[in-house]
Amino acid sequence: MANKAEDKKRSPSVKSILGGDILANDFFRRQTKLLILMMIFILFYIHNRYASQQQQIEIDKLKKELIDIKYDALTRSSELMEKSRQSRIEEYVSEEQSDLQTSTNPPYVIKKD
């Protein structure tokens, strides 16, 4: 009879684990504070992992937005360059005043020594 009682104490059964009887064990009673501390650390870990994933998603979204803005700026810059090209300006001016002509002499003469 004493052997059956010792076997029951040594090996917890599935029924005692699922029923919660294992938590009444002396080991778990002594380590309650440690188990609570471990649970708090696990919750912090899960929270930090979730926050990190959310920040990574936000970073990816902002990177895509930055690329779109860069392409838009490049497009606008090329349109501005096309409109401010000398030949285009001459066309705009010649439409309004027909007597203006482009100078054939360079503004600066580069001398070779």
Show Cβ contacts of residue 22 under 8 Å, excluding neighbours closer than 6 positions. 12, 16, 28
Instruction: Tell me: pLDDT of 51 over 70.
Output: yes
Tens digits of residue pLDDT in 27-48: 878 888 999 999 999 999 999 9
Token pair 């936000």: residue: 58
Round to whole Å and give the CA distance between 57 and 46. 17
Cα separation of 45 and 52, whole Å?
Answer: 10
Position 74 confidence tier, pLDDT thresholds 50, 70, 90:
very high
Domain spans in the chain, listed from the N-terminal domain onward: 11-95
Amino acid at 64: K
